[in-house]
Amino acid sequence: MIFITGGTGLVGSHILLQLCQKGERVLALRRNSSTLEICRRVFSQNSSIDLFKSIDWVNGDLNNIPMLEKCISRCEYVIHAAALVSFHPEDKKKLVDININGTANVMNISIDFGIKKCVYVSSIATLGRNSTDEIVDENCNFKLSNLESNYSISKYMAEQEVWRASNEGLDVIIVNPSVILGPGDWVKGSSRIFHSIYKGLRFFPPGKTGFVDVYDVSAIIVKLLFLKVSNERFILNGINTSYESVFNLIADNFNIKRPNIRVTPFLKEIGWRIEKFRSLILQRKSLITKETAESGMRESTFSSKKVEKLLNYKFRTLDDTVANYCKMYIKDLG
Please say if the pLDDT value at position 162 is more than 60.
yes
Average pLDDT over residues 30-51: 89
Taking only the tens place, the pLDDT of each residue in 314-334 is 999 999 999 999 999 998 886
Please say if the pLDDT value at position 272 is more than 60.
no
Distance CA(68)–CA(296), nearest Å, equals 37
Higher pLDDT, 130 or 315: 315
Please say if the pLDDT value at position 4 is more than 60.
yes
Higher pLDDT, 311 or 147: 311
Percent of the chain at pLDDT > 90 equals 68
Please say if the pLDDT value at position 288 is more than 80.
no
Taking only the tens place, the pLDDT of each residue in 139-158 is 888 877 776 888 899 999 99
pLDDT for res 324: 95
Contact indicator for 204, 267 with CB cutoff of 8 Å: no
Contacts of residue 190, defined as CB under 8 A and 6 or more positions apart, other chains included, come to 10, 179, 180, 181, 182, 184
Average pLDDT over residues 100-117: 98
pLDDT for res 101: 97
The confidence band for 239, taking pLDDT boundaries of 50, 70 and 90, is: very high
Contact indicator for 78, 3 with CB cutoff of 8 Å: yes
pLDDT for res 277: 53
Provide the strand spans (E) within 117-237. 117-121, 172-177, 179-181, 203-204, 208-213, 232-236
Identify the bridge partners of residue 30 per DSSP, sorted by sequence position: 59
Distance CA(148)–CA(130), nearest Å, equals 9
Distance CA(159)–CA(181), nearest Å, equals 23
The confidence band for 286, taking pLDDT boundaries of 50, 70 and 90, is: low
Average pLDDT over residues 30-41: 90
Higher pLDDT, 270 or 40: 40
Q: How does the average pLDDT of the chain come out, rounded?
A: 90
Contacts of residue 226, defined as CB under 8 A and 6 or more positions apart, other chains included, come to none
pLDDT for res 297: 76
The confidence band for 186, taking pLDDT boundaries of 50, 70 and 90, is: confident
Contact indicator for 295, 272 with CB cutoff of 8 Å: no
Please say if the pLDDT value at position 98 is more than 80.
yes
Look at 35-49, 101-115, 280-294 and tell me which has the smallest mean pLDDT. 280-294
pLDDT for res 313: 97
Identify the bridge partners of residue 177 per DSSP, sorted by sequence position: 236
pLDDT for res 283: 59
- Burial degree of 89 (CB within 10 A; 0-12, 13-18, 19+): exposed
Average pLDDT over residues 222-228: 96
Please say if the pLDDT value at position 291 is more than 80.
no
Distance CA(117)–CA(303), nearest Å, equals 25
Average pLDDT over residues 274-296: 64
pTM over 0.85: yes
Distance CA(98)–CA(82), nearest Å, equals 8
